[in-house]
Chain A
Amino acid sequence: MEAMHSDDAGVIVVGGGHAGVEAAHAAAKMGVPTLLLTGDPSRICTLPCNPSIGGSAKGQLVREIDALGGAMGVLADACSLHARFLNESKGPAVRALRQLMDKPSYNRMALRLLQTLPALRIEAAMVEELIVSAGEVRGVRCADGRSFYARRVVLATGTFLGGKLFRGEEVQPGGRHAEAPAIGLSHALRALGFSMQRLKTGTPPRVDRSSVEYGAMRVQEPSATPLLFSRRSEARFAGEQLPCYLIDTNERTHALVRENLHRSPLYGLDLIRGIGPRYCPSIEDKVIKFAHNPTHQLFIEPEGWDEPTLYVGGFSTSLPADVQLAMLQTLPGMERCEMLRAGYAVEYDMVAPTELDDTLQTHRIAGLYHCGQLNGTSGYEEAAAQGLVAGANAALAARGRDPLRIARSEGYIGVLVDDLVGKGVDEPYRMLTSRAEHRVLLRHDNADRRLTPHGRDIGLVDDSQWMVFTEEIALLDRAVSDAERLRLPVREIGSERFQAPPTLAEALRRPQVRVAELRPWLPEELSADLAERIEIEVKIEGYVKREEQAIVQAARRERLVIPADFAYEGISALSSEAREKLARQRPRTLGAAGRIPGVAPTDVAILSLHLQRPEHGSAAVTR
């Protein structure tokens, strides 16, 4: 029996990566006393893998985090050394911003941002154990013997749980490069009965930027104008903008991989058991599984303004260091390169996210929240998004308020959480546009429209962000409605394209017409960003309306709430697989139940039948 202790905080966050920082930031910004425990507070958000934030689907996640009042967008904008819009020609719904970070700045800025929050305290501590009493979390116990008490604990331990690093024959315990893993906590979670899985990921080698010849590489220039994630950031470059480079592997590179496979911990040595991501294969995987490709494209990216290292994207490997160097030196422009740090693979424990409800709280232990790579995701953005949800929900619970839930039709964050808790993962989960069935609504341009009201509601969006939002939306709405009225003179807009004078909106609906050519007819005070938003809103209005109708039609199932104590066991008509999964995962709505793998449409039909029965009067339709 635990002695009674007074709480040290309302919320304890364990882990100082993107998930932990976003969780601690959210909880503290919402005014709940928060304690962030991390092994080394000076190493918060070090971006241990690639230097990039954003990209397809991930860029939308960052915009959503920002719209909710989170940190990642503001931090990234302040450290960006290269920015580019992806998918510009493929359609407004999939346009996405990608930035490269000056890694030291990011780490510094993140720490500085957290230090501005009066409700947040940061302590160096390695958490070993959870203090649990009567099914509720009460605090954490650390390796040095200290204990901290709180009724809400957010675990954001990344790859540190039972982390093991692999490079050739070398195997060493570690959460990431030069940092010790969390072994005790992994055992503790297992002992509490959590279902654990083992995953694998990897990082490529870094080379000295002064040792490569850029002349032999294809240049990828950054945008000439500042591109930002956050509407709160100032429209200026954070510093000098640097180019990236593209190169291809060749037959000599591949030959080295094949010749040294016996030294690969993944292949010849057979040391790695965890499952790696299909969308981010190691160079070994690429050479073996896509043997028919004569070359593989690599991305050479700077890791900072003053950092000596270049990141070799697409070259993730766990072959021995000497082989890595030899392989690098087969690449164009890298013949005499120096390798500053070799790549490695990391294997780590994760807890099945099907252990969580849709607020990221565990079913097993009340008050305990899991987020980030601990849930089997990969990527900074996915981690941060979950961190925000878990941190905000811990804070809301501490306040006795309703949790933050984002629907699949409201945000990629909603898709992320619903996929994780409903389907679980069998490889590191990365957000992809194709996971979002309503992606025509989930655009980078309208994240604020979708989510800032939610952020305001939970107290995460502050007055200044709210004011900017309401003003911009008013301006935008007025401009969009004016666009339907304002007629353009045919002569000036090009009479070959239009017979009669079109309205501004009609002109914009033509696929080839971009808003830039119509600037003379738009209000002068409209920023380029807002002008682009007008273009997108007008252009895809028809698609949006159709999508919204589909959502309304599906809404019935999404709103049909399954009582928390619903007795699946008693329904013999359900398939045994469905009965077992439903009883374990306890989906909140009929819609969520239908998305659980193994729950067939018939099972949903039967479930719906039972939910409507009189004795389940508690089955409620909510908005």
Chain B
Amino acid sequence: MAVARLMVIAAGVNKDMARIIAGIGTSHIPAIGAAVDNGKTGEAYWQPLMNGIKPAREWMKNTRPDVCIIVYNDHASAFSLESISTFSIGVGDVFPPADEGYGPRKVPVVEGHSELAWHIAESLILDEFDMTMVNDMPVDHGLTVPLTIMYDQPDAWPCKVIPLSVNVVQYPQPTGNRCYMLGKAIRRAVESFGDDLTVAVFGTGGMSHQLQGERAGVINRDYDLKWLDKLVNDPESITGINHTEYMRETGSEGIELIMWLIMRGAMAANINEVYRFDHVPVSNTHYGLTILENRL
């Protein structure tokens, strides 16, 4: 314990402040939630995925972040065409699972961290990221499936959650660069919160998939894996990829990958990728998972 404390001090990290310890990138495919909720994960179809996420669950058990900031997108659940915000942050105390058209998932309610969420919102706006603050917000598979992937089926989620929703449905989505810069601002916000909290940031969605149109089902695993290598080792080389390239190369819904850039921006420049897994197919999608740790 004393040694760990010394290392933290040596690295210049203030133990009395909140700090980001890890970044997680994961797809948020609704079929994974349905398979877990309906007890189908024993089926052969799900074996590669279930085996692949096992080490991530182990890692999560050992790491136990106090708060998870989950960057995700709402799929016409809490938000609709009535009002479209580019970046929204959930500042409430509790977020119930949404009914997306087939009944809400039977998962625990998501508990927020209102004080930290408001601190982040204030810090981001003063840092020139004009957030929408949301109190009442059901959360859909975009947020709850990543929790299921990392925590399985607990009676209550073992962390507080700050939902950070990004518009990726209505063109134009925010640029990759804007997302990356938002991540950096989130890091500044978290590290200026005067409470001893460990925080993990999730970037969710992707990887390549297209749900719509004559081209439905398109997958581009080679592109995804090269992109992921860059995300880990040289993120600034991919912040300039434009909307058309994402849609062309990774499918119209693959553009969700910009949310992983928010996670990456919230991490240090040099990080360790401690785990990676990918699998084709999960439903219509190339499933991807990466776990990044800040070097201390």
Query: Do A and B associate with each other?
Result: no
Q: Could you list which residues of chain B lie within 8 angstroms of chain A, going by C-beta atoms?
A: none
Q: Could you list which residues of chain A lie within 8 angstroms of chain B, going by C-beta atoms?
A: none
